């Protein structure tokens, strides 16, 4: 017999699913005597697992949900962001193929922007929607030098069900014209083909447009129905800061 699973110490192959021996299905004989292929119950679970893996979302971030986001005693804009993210998830199927199908949480750091968009991502993946996650810094690294792989990487970011860019345009270092060109190719493709983007950024739409108007204006249009600007004094807004005091 061909061993598909990993071997344990006794040299017997072990499977995540004993029933189908990780083939995600098995043959059954029907009443007519013919053999049929039946998908195993583990198939959906494995699909979700693969989806989480390909999203590049770490295990720690996979635990972030709406349930562990605290809204109590927090400023109104944080509660707004929480409700906007929840609504976005709730109505996602209705607008996902339209132009205005994206979400942007913008403004001061420490408000839980990443947490909320992670909660959306994790829930979307459980529904079978693919997500690809990048921090801005990682994205910049992806979009440079390695020309052999660049086309493939850009294509993946263009075509995935949902692209999540965390901390867009963070940092003082300006992106190079080449990196902006690649980012435009990604955003514009998704804009034209009605594919959603999720954006968190410390910059507001005007500031994003100052860096690149073509990118900013498309993000603005796509995220128009689901944009929250988190503003206020740092101490009032910043949860991490308050907790430390
Ligand atoms: Zn199975």
pLDDT digits (tens, 9 = 90+) for 209-231: 999 999 999 999 999 999 999 98
pLDDT tens digits, one per residue of 45-73:
888 889 999 999 999 999 999 999 999 98
Token digits for 218? 């498309």
**Ligand 1 mean position, distance from CA 34 (Å):** 21
C-alpha 133 – ligand 1 centre gap (Å)? 29
Question: For 112-159, what is each residue's pLDDT tens digit?
Answer: 999 999 999 999 999 999 999 999 999 988 887 667 788 889 999 999
15 CA distance to ligand 1 middle (Å): 9
Q: What is the pTM of this model?
A: 0.84
Q: Quick one: tokens of 105?
A: 């949480």
Question: How far is the centre of ligand 1, averaged over its atoms, from the C-alpha of 131 (Å)?
Answer: 25
3.40.720.10, 3.40.109.10, 3.40.50.300, 3.90.400.10: CATH of 47-244: 3.40.50.300
Q: How far is the CA of 8 from the centre of ligand 1 (A)?
A: 19
Could you tell me the distance, in angstroms and rounded to a whole number, from the CA of residue 48 to the centre of ligand 1?
Answer: 14
Tokens 């679970």 sit on residue: 45
CA of 57 to the centre of ligand 1 (A): 25
103 Cα–ligand 1 center, Å: 36
The counts of H helices and E strands in the chain are 11, 9
214 burial level (CB within 10 Å; 0-12, 13-18, 19+):
middle
The residues spanned by each domain of the chain are 1-40, 47-244
What span, in angstroms and rounded, lies between the C-alpha atoms of 122 and 116?
Answer: 10
Task: Give the Å distance between the CA of 54 and the centre of ligand 1.
Answer: 21
Q: How confident is the model at residue 1 (pLDDT cuts 50, 70, 90)?
A: very low
């Amino acid at each position: 017999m061909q061993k598909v699973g990993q071997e344990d110490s006794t040299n017997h192959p072990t499977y995540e699913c004993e029933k189908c021996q990780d083939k995600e299905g098995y043959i059954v004989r029907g009443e007519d005597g013919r053999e049929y292929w039946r998908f195993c119950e583990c198939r959906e679970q494995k699909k979700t697992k693969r989806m989480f893996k390909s999203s590049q979302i770490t295990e720690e971030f996979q635990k972030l949900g709406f349930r562990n986001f605290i809204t109590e005693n927090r400023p109104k804009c944080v509660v707004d962001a929480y409700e906007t993210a929840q609504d976005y998830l709730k109505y996602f199927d209705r607008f996902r193929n339209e132009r205005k199908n994206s979400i942007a949480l913008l403004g001061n750091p420490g408000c839980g922007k990443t947490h909320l968009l992670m909660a959306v991502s994790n829930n979307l993946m459980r529904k079978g929607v693919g997500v690809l996650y990048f921090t801005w810094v990682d994205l910049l690294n992806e979009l440079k030098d390695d020309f052999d792989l660049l086309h493939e990487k850009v294509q993946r970011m263009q075509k995935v069900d949902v692209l999540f860019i965390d901390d867009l345009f963070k940092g003082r270092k300006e992106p190079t014209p080449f990196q902006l060109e690649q980012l435009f190719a990604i955003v514009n493709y998704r804009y034209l083909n009605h594919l959603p983007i999720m954006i968190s950024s410390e910059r507001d739409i005007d500031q994003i447009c100052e860096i690149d108007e073509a990118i900013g204006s498309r993000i603005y249009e796509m995220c128009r129905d689901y944009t929250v600007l988190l503003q206020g004094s740092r101490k009032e807004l910043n949860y991490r800061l308050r907790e430390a005091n």
